[in-house]
Structure 1
């Protein structure tokens, strides 16, 4: 990923927090030179000294069969993004677009049935435990679990490299920066509001 120096993020803790919070990524592999992409809920965790991305996809999805032939897979995470009008600057300039993006490169392999069960158990726990009637692994019937397990393939990606870019108007002066934040909150687009909050948080950090 091309990352100008203003926007490069190197803080490992900040990147991990972003990936864990975003939790939904696009996995890209290739088959005979053609890119294949799948959009998936994913988990990010550390085991001993290595980091892993884990998840699952439909058995009918041909992408998991490319794991053996791909030296590396790419997983892309994207945060809020927003159009930035140059009319918000003190001086003449051109419009641009602010965004947050993290690219993770690694090697993928298939989970065992036991590993897949652990992955699904943790995912349900993460997204269901706070609900009034949580749908947890131990509450589902063996018949339902057996049927659903047959229809999916679990995978893990051993992380080799992470690249992160946060384009948040860091190259603008303070007055322009604050005005951009105000203008983003005035927009009707929800992504603009979220970007405004991200930029506000950056001021406080």
Structure 2
């Protein structure tokens, strides 16, 4: 990760918060070439040390390289936005504000028991926010069993954690106020997703 000094955010608390708010990350492994999968990756809240967990499908090309001790890279991205130089009081270069965390980690494969517990925790993490939650144990058993045989769970044990928060740290207050005002006029962040769904399904 490229980290200019004034944007560097390597403290664990920054990483925890960004991952908590943006758990859908990129899981990168080296196979015969670089391989990446977009998956939910959560922090293990039951561990006394910082570690994360996830799973991939066994037919995923990464599965062949998912071995005990393998090095992986986890990438988490926070909110980002193009910042137009027309928003500044004086002409300057346009840029992009963003935040991200990169975690280099070692893989530890889960047992089937650990995988089942991880899936329960994963589902609960997201279902608890729903109006009518459907917990993992409420899913029909035959579906659970057919699913378990087709996936592999793993722990991610961090070796290094690097973060960046580029938020116009060197700008003056008036420019910051202008930037915030312009960003507040933007549409809901889900607007493009809704459009994609409609386009894909002819709605």
Q: What TM bracket, shorter-length normalisation?
A: 0.7 to 0.9
Aligned to 1:136: 135
Establish whether residue 151 from structure 1 lines up as the match of residue 150 from structure 2: yes
**In the alignment, which residue of structure 1 is the partner of 2:186?**
187
In the TM superposition, residue 129 of structure 1 has moved relative to its aligned partner by 2.8
Structure 1, unmatched stretches of 5+, are: 192-205
Q: Map residues 26-65 of structure 1 onto 2, 5 A cutoff.
A: 26-32=26-32, 34-45=33-44, 47-48=47-48, 50-65=49-64
Aligned to 1:9: 9
Asked if the contact 1:51–1:158 (Cα under 8 Å) also holds between the matched residues in 2, the reply is yes
Q: Aligned residue for 2:24?
A: 24
Alignment of 1:168-179 (within 5 A): 168-179=167-178
Aligned residues: 189
Q: Deviations over 1:163-201 (max 9, x none)?
A: 00111111111111111111111234738xxxxxxxxxx
Partner of 1:67: 66
Q: Is 1:163 aligned with 2:162?
A: yes
What per-residue deviation string (whole Å, max 9, x for no partner) do you get for residues 24-62 of structure 1?
Answer: 100111112x110000011112522x3111011111002
1:71 & 1:4 partners in 2: Cα distance? 29
Residue 84 of structure 2 is matched in structure 1 by: 85
Deviation of 1:70 after TM superposition, in Å, equals 7.2
Contact 2:85 2:92 in 1 (8 A): yes
- Distance of aligned partners of 1:71 and 1:114 in 2 relative to their CA distance in 1, 3 Å threshold: closer
Work out the CA distance in 2 between the residues paired with 1:143 and 1:85: 53
Cα distance between partner residues in 1 of 2:172 and 2:71: 40
Residue 113 (structure 1) aligned with residue 112 (structure 2):
yes
Deviation of 1:14 after TM superposition, in Å, equals 2.5
Alignment RMSD, CA only?
1.8
* Higher strand residue share: 1
Residue pair 1:44, 1:52 contacting (<8 A) in 2 also: yes
Q: What is the DSSP-based 3-state SS (H/G/I as helix, E as strand, rest coil) of the residue aligned with 2:56?
A: strand
State the Cα deviation string for residues 62-118 of structure 1 (Å, max 9, x = none): 213213387421000011111101111122211001111110110012211000000
TM-score under structure 1 normalisation? 0.85
